[in-house]
C-alpha cells in the first residue's frame, strides 16, 4: 500500500528467470499500481478482501500459478537478489524455506532492541512447545512449494501473525524446513504499518492457539540452515 517510491528499488532486482510477479495492492492512494506496471509491464495486480498483511499474502497466494511461491516485501527491506538462495534450498529438497536475520551472514538494520527481545522470546517459546530450532520467527521473507499451503490453515491470519503461523504450522506438519541467512534493510520510503504491542500480542495469541493443535507427526528435531559467508 502506497509503495510507489519504493518499487523502483525492488522490482528491477527480481531475477529475470522468475516466471510471475504478483503485486497485492491495498487500495493505494499514490501511483503504486502505475509505477509497478511501468517497471514490469506483465505484472499481475490483485486486491485484497480484508485489511492486513496476512490478508494481502493470502490474496497473492490464491493468484499465484507457479510451483514455487516467494513472499517478498515491497518496501525495500527484503532484497530480491537473495531469491536464488531460497529457491536453491527448495530445489535441494526443502519444502519450506524461511529467511533468518540471526544466522551468520544475515542481519537487520530495522529492528529496535525491544523487538529483538520479543522475537527472541517467541523463538524460545516455540522451541519449547513445538520443537525445532528456529533462529528467527517474525520475518516475512520465505519461499515454499505451493502445495505446502494445502497443509496449513491461514484464513484467520489477517495480520502480521501470518509469518509466525506459517513457521509453526510447518513444524506441526513435519515439513522439511531450511533457514537461509538474510539481511533486512531499512524501509526506503514511508512508514511501516507494524505496531509493536498489538501485533506482538497477535503473534503470542497465535502461538498459544496453535499449541492446542495436534501435530500430524512428530515435529522435526532440527532445522537445516544455510549461512552466507
What was the pLDDT predicted at 229?
Answer: 46
pLDDT tens, per residue, the chain with 229 residues: 999 999 999 999 999 999 999 999 999 999 999 999 999 999 999 999 898 999 999 999 999 999 999 999 999 999 999 999 999 999 999 999 999 999 999 999 877 888 888 889 899 999 888 888 899 998 989 999 999 999 999 988 888 899 999 999 999 998 999 999 999 998 887 676 666 677 778 888 888 888 887 666 554 445 676 666 4
Q: Does domain 7-226 have CATH number 3.90.550.10?
A: yes
Domain ranges in the chain?
7-226
What was the pLDDT predicted at 215?
Answer: 65
What was the pLDDT predicted at 217?
Answer: 54
Alpha-helical (H) ranges within the chain are 32-39, 53-63, 83-91, 113-130, 161-172, 196-210
What was the pLDDT predicted at 189?
Answer: 76
- In this prediction the pTM is 0.87
Amino acid at each position: 500500500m502506497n509503495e510507489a517510491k519504493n518499487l523502483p528499488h525492488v522490482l528491477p532486482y527480481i531475477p529475470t528467470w522468475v516466471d510471475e510477479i504478483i503485486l497485492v495492492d491495498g487500495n493505494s492512494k499514490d501511483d503504486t499500481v502505475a509505477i509497478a506496471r511501468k517497471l514490469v509491464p506483465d505484472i499481475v495486480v490483485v486486491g485484497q478482501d480484508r485489511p492486513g498483511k496476512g490478508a494481502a499474502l493470502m490474496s497473492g497466494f490464491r493468484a499465484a500459478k507457479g510451483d514455487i511461491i516467494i513472499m517478498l516485501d515491497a518496501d525495500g527491506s527484503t532484497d530480491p537478489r537473495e531469491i536464488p538462495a531460497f529457491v536453491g534450498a527448495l530445489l535441494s529438497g526443502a519444502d519450506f524455506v524461511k529467511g533468518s536475520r540471526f544466522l551468520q551472514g544475515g542481519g537487520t538494520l530495522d529492528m529496535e532492541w525491544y523487538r529483538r527481545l520479543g522475537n527472541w522470546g517467541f523463538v524460545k517459546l516455540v522451541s519449547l512447545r513445538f520443537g525445532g530450532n528456529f533462529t528467527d520467527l517474525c520475518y516475512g521473507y520465505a519461499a515454499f512449494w505451493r502445495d505446502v499451503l494445502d497443509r496449513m490453515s491461514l484464513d484467520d491470519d489477517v495480520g502480521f501473525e501470518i509469518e509466525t503461523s506459517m513457521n509453526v504450522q510447518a513444524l506441526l506438519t513435519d515439513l522439511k524446513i531450511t533457514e537461509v541467512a538474510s539481511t533486512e534493510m531499512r524501509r526506503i520510503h514511508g512508514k511501516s504499518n507494524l505496531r509493536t504491542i498489538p501485533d506482538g500480542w497477535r503473534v503470542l495469541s497465535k502461538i498459544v492457539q496453535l499449541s492446542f493443535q495436534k501435530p500430524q507427526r512428530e515435529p522435526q528435531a532440527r532445522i537445516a540452515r544455510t549461512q552466507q559467508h
